[in-house]
Structure 1
């Protein structure tokens, strides 16, 4: 046993609610893909993003600058050169649900594009994982969880459940993000809780 006190975790940054301008800047399939790659895999250059997306480095560089204008991403200080700049997504939770943006047609359209592209990418990643695990032996597949359950909740109970699950996810992210010990891999955590349509609808 060890009686060492674990190091204190840095204080969690407040959730950023994207304003209408940031939502419009993000509302492009390639920009969503770039933003998500930076969120999942950390800092990248226009060249590495080109390799990951199948686009040209000129295209990824253009979209990186567009994202940076709205502080969705930032240049990594002290890394790279004038010819090869590194970009990262600032840490912290981001919400695409902006009530003010939803009051305008352009805001609603941008929100829809962003959410649709993110969900499309999540579903593609999930299907790729399922197909890969079926085609080849993968010890990681044995520890993955893809589960669906159905129950009956009030709105208050659903709020309590989502809060508890989010706390578990936040604890895991705070504890393990950035570790580079041998055997680690980037893992995506999916949590889906939503009410089904009412019977007859």
Structure 2
């Protein structure tokens, strides 16, 4: 069963190489977590100068990873946000630099997930009860065929895509007042991983 894409964009080789940069990844994380922001504000959070931060933001925007929020800011001031619709990582094909960049990005994704889970465990006791009840940390160990595993992956990702559409729609509607999210909503992170265990290629013995 071929892998389906559930994102609006797929990052090609050049985008992968551009994104695999520690400061750009951190800028993306901040925009994803806190919403629209300016280069000046982001530079202050990261201890960087505004010129360098602006350059890296433009590089992210060049590949469609982030974008300028229309109608926000005064004069030449720009507010940046994560581009709605998400993205997926493309196939680096025969480009060694792109393959290395993809490895870097996937390793950073694993790091980020671990950091987010650790943060949630430390914050859970101070979180409102209704959000604690809505949360879950779950693990399942299943015995499936390749086709069944692919089907499970696609079904879960389709559900996530439906809820991402709902979230993106709210973000678009609140564009005029980005600092005031819709009442009752909160920033939710969803992790989903599916991978085989013990299915690595075995070297043949003569």
| Structure 1 length-normalised TM | 0.79
Aligned pairs for 1:115-194 (under 5 A) are 115-134=106-125, 136=126, 138-139=128-129, 140-177=131-168, 178=170, 180-194=181-195
Deviates more, 1:116-125 or 1:44-53: 44-53
Aligned partner of 1:75 in structure 2 is 68
CA distance in 1, matches of 2:85, 2:40: 25
SS in 2 for 1:189: coil
Aligned pairs for 1:44-55 (under 5 A) are 44-55=37-48
Q: Is 1:112 matched with 2:114?
A: no
Q: Is 1:42 matched with 2:35?
A: yes
Aligned partner of 2:25 in structure 1 is 32
The gaps in structure 2 that reach 5 residues or longer are: 1-5, 172-180
User: Cα RMSD between the aligned structures?
Assistant: 2.6
CA distance in 1, matches of 2:45, 2:135: 24
State whether residues 7 and 86 of structure 2, in contact with CA within 8 Å, keep that contact through their aligned partners in structure 1: yes
CA distance in 1, matches of 2:119, 2:22: 19
CA distance in 2, matches of 1:198, 1:115: 20
CA distance in 2, matches of 1:108, 1:158: 25
| Structure 2 length-normalised TM | 0.77
State whether residues 33 and 121 of structure 1, in contact with CA within 8 Å, keep that contact through their aligned partners in structure 2: no
Distance change (3 Å), C-alpha of 1:86 and 1:155: same
Distance change (3 Å), C-alpha of 1:78 and 1:127: same
State whether residues 24 and 56 of structure 2, in contact with CA within 8 Å, keep that contact through their aligned partners in structure 1: yes
